[in-house]
Chains A and B, each alone.
Chain A
Amino acid sequence: LAKTTQPISMDSYEGQEVNITCSHNNIATNDYITWYQQFPSQGPRFIIQGYKTKVTNEVASLFIPADRKSSTLSLPRVSLSDTAVYYCLVGGRNDYKLSFGAGTTVTVRA
């Protein structure tokens, strides 16, 4: 699995956009980029997955530059309930052993 690096923590305020960048310099050709969210005392929740360019769903957007050595998860207009740990993963489409690093703790304040 490609190693990923992301900030340990980020603070934001309600209504702002939060962008979390993940570095994955040794990403392989067949690797996908996947993001999970985890609230305290809950299981992780799949947010979004992409391979290149931009992916958007009802929760977030994922921006992936052409070299794919990094990616940015964008959470539009965050609310207090978006306070959670966000994990960036890189792996092949048929990889199944999820492995989380420290993740990014996003704290949204009123």
Chain B
Amino acid sequence: GAGVSQSPSNKVTEKGKDVELRCDPISGHTALYWYRQSLGQGLEFLIYFQGNSAPDKSGLPSDRFSAERTGGSVSTLTIQRTQQEDSAVYLCASSLEYGGSTYEQYFGPGTRLTVT
């Protein structure tokens, strides 16, 4: 079946602009996660969705970052007034909420964001 898809694959934006990153999880996966990974850095957790609600937003680095999920499926991560330090690869993952380990997550290919 289809895996997790993300769009765009690459995004170059000017400092101060807003960007939207999209994630389509695996069908039937009720849990959805956003992470980011910077060059030479580890994986940084941003937010977790259970269905359409986000019980854990603890990883969002500032109020410029927000995310929503609709219909228990597609999710959008929005970064407002982008800064150069926001440059990173933004990864989306999904997993089964029940009947499976939430440590078993399936990742998309990522969106490489470059803020100039």
Binding site for B on A (CB under 8 A): 32, 34, 41-46, 49, 89, 91, 93-102
Binding site for A on B (CB under 8 A): 4, 31, 33, 35, 42-43, 45, 48, 56, 59, 91, 93, 95, 101-110, 112
Mostly, the A contact residues are loop
**Contact B109 A49, beta carbon cutoff 8 Å:** no
Contacts of A99 in B (CB 8 A): 42-43, 45
**Extra pairs beyond A32-B101, A34-B104 (13, CB < 8 Å):** A34-B101, A43-B108, A43-B110, A44-B43, A89-B103, A94-B102, A96-B31, A96-B95, A97-B48, A98-B105, A99-B42, A99-B43, A100-B43
| CB nearest neighbor in B for A96 | B102
**Contact A93 B93, beta carbon cutoff 8 Å:** no
Cross-chain contact of B103 among A42, A93, A101 (Cβ < 8 A)? A93
For the complex of A and B, the 6 pairs showing the least CB-CB separation, nearest first, are A43-B107, A96-B102, A97-B45, A100-B43, A100-B42, A34-B103
Complex Cα distance A96/B100, Å? 12
**Contact A44 B107, beta carbon cutoff 8 Å:** yes
| A96-B31, A98-B35, A100-B43 known; A43-B101 Cβ under 8 A | no
Number of A-B residue pairs at CB separation under 8 A: 61
> Nearest-CB distance from B81 to chain A (Å)?
26
Complex Cα distance A59/B113, Å? 32
Contacts of B43 in A (CB 8 A): 44, 98-100
Complex Cα distance A96/B97, Å? 10
Complex Cα distance A101/B95, Å? 21
Complex Cα distance A100/B103, Å? 12
Contacts of A93 in B (CB 8 A): 101-103
**Contact B107 A45, beta carbon cutoff 8 Å:** yes
Contacts of A101 in B (CB 8 A): 42
> Nearest-CB distance from A15 to chain B (Å)?
29
28 A-B residue pairs with Cβ-Cβ distance under 8 Å, sorted by A, are: A32-B101, A34-B101, A34-B103, A41-B112, A42-B109, A43-B4, A43-B107, A43-B110, A44-B43, A44-B91, A45-B107, A46-B104, A91-B103, A93-B101, A93-B102, A93-B103, A94-B102, A96-B33, A96-B48, A96-B56, A96-B103, A96-B105, A98-B35, A98-B45, A98-B105, A99-B45, A100-B42, A100-B43
